[in-house]
Structure 1
Amino acid sequence: KIPMRMGGGPVTHVITIAEDITDWKAAIDRTAQAEKLAALGQLAAGVMHEINNPLATIAACAESLGGQAIHGATTPAPELLRIIDLEVQRCKKIVNGLLDFARPKAGGRALLDLNAVVQQGLFLLQHHPRVKRVKVVAELEAAAVLLVEGDADQLVQVLIALAMNALDVTPDQGQVVIRTRREPGEAGRAILEVEDTGPGIPRALQAKVFDPFFTTKPPGQGTGLGLAICYGIVADHGGALDLLSKEGEGTRFLVSLPIGVRHRTTEVLA
């Protein structure tokens, strides 16, 4: 809106210019979903190993049940059935976690426990193949509940993208630390950090890392959209995404979000 005046007099008219961004927003949403599905593909690679363990246990229990009629019972059947049920539930939890992450959901804001959001992301990250060779450490704020207002699915996507980037650049036997804390101050902000022990990002490239389609990964291994999407999601939540890195000394990404206010009628999603 642009006010119009005659000379130095009062405002006589207002010129209003509007732009329909419906198609643009839809394109951004489709891109974000495509990037999330690409991350899901990498996570799913670890599911084979993750599910093989409970399947092996189920197979052993079934074999034991089948052999009891011939060789006699060595382990009570109810105990074997209980183990089978536990392992089936474990498989179901793994698969449902990945499916929930993959499905596009209607956007909605609620009061969230940031630590619970991180725990959900860590559950998905344990299926990443690199987790077998890189130590993932969670240092979550224990002194207070960190409440933020936002979309849980989008915030999990931000964590997954930042953590997977960290895992990709961290050498074997290295470490990725995911921590939450409350920033001191009267207003107060919730901080989510993802820190790696990788090679760091050269200063000349740091200004470009949030640009769409910019990537330092080899061709075919990155779209250059992950960090740009994270930046947009965090900004849409009233927060900030910052980079701290020194070449040869690893990288830290800091997500800063406003502390949410708990109202009597507000439900906290954990």
Structure 2
Amino acid sequence: MTTSAVAMPPPEGLEYASKCFFPTEWHGVPLTNVKQYNHDSKIFSFGLPEGRSLDLPVCACLLLQGKDKEGNDAVRPYTPMSSNDVVGRFDLLVKVYEQGVISQYLNNLAIGSLVPFKHIPFNIKAQYPFGKKTLTMISGGTGITPMFQALQCLCLTPGDETKITLLYGNKSVDDILLRAELDDLASKSNGRLNVVHVVGTRPDEPPIEGWDGELGWVDAAKIEKYGYPPSDDTLVMVCGLPAMYDVFCGPRTEPELKEGTVLHKLGYTTTMVAKF
């Protein structure tokens, strides 16, 4: 279902963290379309004024304000799957969890409902072109969206020679998001992008019929096998659920690489790691 609900620009005089359409204060835009993506994920489209791009910095995210079951405010960060080339709307790819506060809020909204967003300085992370010769991306589930934003720039910008490995973990083959789009970027990268899918719900995941990718979890061994080793010319980018940060690099809200985490044990330093 779609709607042509009109999106209004924010009032004048507000503060902005970047050239993004959204200011640092909440501004509502209409939900214009909802499309089933796979068995548990949907694409939620939101309207922007006609001819207007979101203009979100690469890998940055928006904050979305919704309501929990009790009607209290709840906030979550989301990185759109759509690029800044899209005008008049932007798209969020969201896994709809049974107990997910914001995903259930979105899933129950009527088309045309106004949803508040804002964009703050904290949500602007490492920016393209990143200034490194090699990149290792570690992602899980919907954590693929900021990586996808970066990969579009890395793979489609003429003259870019950055080499990239994406280690992308999911519970099952059916859970893999943007698989066709990632394959397309790899085919256009002149061999610079290696996409490694890792599927499983436990470290010793048994073989899956018809699956020739990696099994189990993204772990130290797979990073050593496929990723780029620690050096001043490399960057490891991490995005996923909070538990993923705890294992690999330390909390997303702390810029330092935490001692004892997987990446620290492998010899990476804080300047070699970006948390999204």
TM-score bucket (shorter structure): under 0.3
- Judging by fraction of residues, say which structure has more helix: 1
For normalisation by structure 1, the TM-score amounts to: 0.23
For normalisation by structure 2, the TM-score amounts to: 0.23
- Judging by fraction of residues, say which structure has more strand: 2
Pair member with larger Rg:
1
